[in-house]
Amino acid sequence: MLADHTTLVQFLIEERRRHPGASGDLNALILDVALACKAIANRVACGALAGVLGSAGHTNVQGETQQKLDLLANDYFLHATEWSGHVAGMVSEELDEPYLLPAEFPRGKYLLVFDPLDGSSNIDVNVSVGSIFSILRAPNPGADPAPEDFLQPGTEQVCGGYAIYGPSTILVLTVGTGVHAFTLDPTLGEFFLTRENIQIPATTGEFAINASNQRFWEPAVQRYVQECLAGKSGPRGRDFNMRWVASLVAETHRILTRGGVFLYPQDSRDPAKPGKLRLLYETNPMAFLIEQAGGAATTGRRRMLEVEPEKVHQRVPFIFGVREEVELIESYHNEIHENLDPWPLYGTRGLFRAPAS
Ligand code: AHG
Ligand code: MN
Ligand code: MN
């Protein structure tokens, strides 16, 4: 085992040797994050035996019910990383405000932002969940950050990654030199490099979208999905397959493995929420990984990594995956849709009859 596989520690040290001036702080922080992920993986795997399933009975700043595991995972992230002197501050999906480090710990040169448990609606049904994280440089190293310090575009990320808690636990990360996956050996408690320089396939026949929101989508998304559904006899000239896990981590992992395209687009349900997923700790780290793997990530109208954040919990539309599909969807957003029937599936010539009103 040890002779055949590179450990996460070895991989990070070898990466650092390529940057002679590097202090090792980034590596140390990534290893602390990896420790938090191992602790979460352990609790997730024990499930009901660990007493961690079910609601915590609170609502977070997003207006979402917090699960017990959301809070536990948040605590693991905070406590695995706050003490080391490598971070200056943190933002978590589960905390209303940026986290101020306890006074006794030194402030470091990085900012850590994370979604401690992604896909939490899947916990109780024993479907894959994950953690997502992004590391930025602190504009004022050694000092408590101001909330604005976190509002950096995704291009500024120094590391982006996720852990998926599935049949196996896999840590996938990039420090801007490709995307690499490390599988946890639970008996040794060690992550081993199992996929190096992951590249997304160039074409796909698979898309992922929550179709129950169809009536709220914009014309560009209506058109794209309609064309996929039309299959061989439609304008795409081939059949498509559809998947929806309701866990961004699982969808990203599938797309990094066998290709595909994911859409959580802008919709008209709530004008205060232009999308569902959060920019700093969901879409930006995933967009960093996807671009590093040769794919593309967009809001539909612009490259995700160039969006200037305005709020730490800001939501954005998110479309990513195989480059040629993402570019096609972007081109639909950029076209004028004046003549497009917004309900093409339900027209007289559509796939379904419109319900009588
Ligand atoms: P979280 O559990 O961190 O709040 O994120 C859930 C997100 C994401 O993982 C997934 O892609 C999406 O919500 C699922 O949304 P629907 O419930 O609309 O399917
Ligand atoms: Mn999430
Ligand atoms: Mn979450």
Superfamily of domain 2-195: Fructose-1,6-Bisphosphatase, subunit A, domain 1 (3.30.540.10)
Residue 340 has pLDDT above 60, yes or no: no
Q: Which of 58, 118, 124, 216 to mutate to test the pocket of ligand 1 (most atoms within 8 A of CB)?
A: 118
Percent of the chain predicted with pLDDT > 70: 94
Q: Atom of ligand 1 at shortest distance to CA of 117?
A: 3
According to CATH, the topology of domain 206-346 is D-Maltodextrin-Binding Protein; domain 2 (3.40.190)
Tokens of 225: 């999905």
Q: Which ligand is located closest to the Cα atom of residue 62? A: 1
Domain 2-195 shares a fold with domain 206-346: no
Ligand-binding site membership of 282 (annotated)? yes
Q: Which of 164, 277, 279 to mutate to test the pocket of ligand 1 (most atoms within 8 A of CB)?
A: 277
Report CA 285 to chain centroid distance, whole Å: 6
- Asked whether 210 lines ligand 1 (CB < 6 A), one says yes
Q: From atom 12 of ligand 1, which residue's Cα is the shortest distance away?
A: 246
Segment among 36-40, 128-132, 349-353 with least mean pLDDT = 349-353
Q: Of 114, 144, 94, which is closest to residue 33 (Cα–Cα)?
A: 114
CA–centroid distance, residue 115 to ligand 2 (Å): 6
Supply the mean pLDDT for the chain: 92
- 306-331: per-residue pLDDT in tens? 999 999 999 999 999 999 999 999 99
Domain ranges within the chain, ordered by starting residue:
2-195, 206-346
- 45-92: per-residue pLDDT in tens? 999 888 888 888 888 887 888 889 999 999 999 999 999 999 999 999
Burial class (CB in 10 A: 0-12, 13-18, 19+), 20: exposed
